[in-house]
Chains A and B, each alone.
Chain A
Amino acid sequence: MKRFFLLAVLLLPGVAAHAATPPDTSAAAVPPAPRKWWRPAHLLLQTGGGLGQVAAGAGYALAKNRLETDVLFGYVPRKYAGSTLSLASLKVMYSPFRLQVAPKVQVLPLTVGAYASYTHGIANDGVRGQYPKDYYWFSVDTRVGPLLGGRVTYLAPPLAATGQPRRVSAYYELGTNDLYIASFFGNLNGGLGFGKILTLALGVKADF
């Protein structure tokens, strides 16, 4: 939770700055300058979701911003996991609906997606020859899982210099992973409630 407040604090100055800009100067008279193809559409910062105590990343938006793909680098301190972990993750998300709830506020009620993550720094992930083939059926370092979430977006005035539209969003994601799913489906008589396998991620995303 502490981390969530930190994110909120990080986010606030940005929002305040946008709010201070007089709205009449923000209208993009000139069309936005063309972007370099490699330039990410957004930067993001999140906590949880099995992808790090803190994870920062960048991503691209496709299909009129409905489809996004993000790359994240996360970090977990040793005191929480027994060894310091660094995670590299890829997320793909689809948000079909966009509700305009106020002139400058949009709600994306549904985001469905999936992620894959690789963790570096696991204490015992096996060395060559340690295990016979298929000793463990699962990977220790690589996780995959589904995501389901939502988002509130504040439409900030475009950058005066370039005319690029800007958005600041706060999002949540409920997720799980392949190992928890395997545990759930092995116990369909109610031995493991579905809620027990869920994880939560909270984050902010800035499109610029």
Chain B
Amino acid sequence: MCLSATLRRWFRLVPVVALLGLAGCDMLEFSPSDHRVPEEFTRLTEKNLAKLQARPLAAGDTLRFVFTGDSQKFYDEAEELVKSVNQQPGISFLFVAGDVSDFGLARELRWVDEKLRRLKVPYLTVVGNHDLVGNGREAYQHVYGPLNYSFVYGDTKFVLIDTNSREYNFNHKVPDINWLQTQLATLDGARRQVVMAHVPPDDGDFDSTLEIPYAQALGTAPNVVLGLSGHNHSFRIGEYYDDGVTYINSDAFSEHSYVVVTMWGDRQFRIKRVRF
């Protein structure tokens, strides 16, 4: 009798202990490089692409998306950015041009996702040099997914590629030019192509022996319109290789600025910079 009353009293603690246990598990970090995160923070690229494809864009429709770079450790700014982007009419997705994290840690990727998942549209990322520091490569792959990937949305094929050559100590394998050429060779039903990366090809952190092959891959492939990048935290636009491809570098979260890209027809596009 007494025992069962005691037991019942202790059983009342079960939910409390379970809650503490769950919070505790989350906090029991083995190392900052420990990339265990709840399932909802894994395979985000795949999940966000599925969300994007669930709202297809009809052939011939104008495409509009937001393009920014380097979220890094700017969480206050990320909140302001989300508020601003959520007021943009007619956009399909937001693209972060790398350096999602500052220290290549899974916790940071999770903190960024906790902000960006409040966007009304899905977001996509490409890996940046800060995401490859330490064991960041494994953390990025676990939380987001592949370092190189491509997809078709509406009339546009997007090719996203790791261009952070310095993080591989310039081993001449990054960016993977063969992969890029293969991806760009076919339009897969799209009318135009856009390449997204973190480090722009003329930067000191890009393998200089691969700059021209990279530019040629874009310049000779069918209908590549834009080459987008981040890294430098400053806006820049130009046709740097005289081959019809326009290269645009975005501001970063820290600069309180992003770019709205509108694309239509075969090669038409418009760029609008927005302050937030």
Contacts and interface: CB of A to CB of B under 8 A. Distances in A.
Q: Is the interface of A mostly helix, strand, loop or mixed?
A: loop
A81 B135 contact: yes
A103 interface: no
A187 B115 CA distance: 13
Q: Give the 9 A-B CB pairs with smallest separation, nearest first.
A: A82-B138, A191-B75, A191-B76, A48-B28, A200-B27, A53-B30, A189-B76, A199-B29, A187-B75
A124 B103 CA distance: 12
A136 B29 contact: no
A189 B24 CA distance: 26
A87 B28 contact: no
A183 B108 contact: yes
Q: Which of B27, B28, B31, B134 has the most CB of A within 10 A?
A: B31
B204 to A, nearest CB: 8
Contact of B33 (A122, A174, A202): A122
Contacts of A143: 32
Given A81-B138, A124-B137, A192-B75, A179 B29 contact: no
A138 B103 contact: yes
B266 interface: no
Contacts of B139: 82
B173 to A, nearest CB: 14
B263 to A, nearest CB: 32
A80 interface: yes
A49 B137 CA distance: 22
B73 interface: yes
A19 interface: no
B132 A76 contact: no
Contacts of A123: 134-135, 137-138
Contact of B30 (A80, A124, A192, A196): A80
Contact of B111 (A48, A136, A192): A192
Contacts of B27: 48, 174, 198-200
Given A1-B25, A80-B34, A131 B102 contact: no
Contacts of B77: 191
Interface in B58-84: 73-79
Interface string A170-208: 000010010110110011111110001011111000000
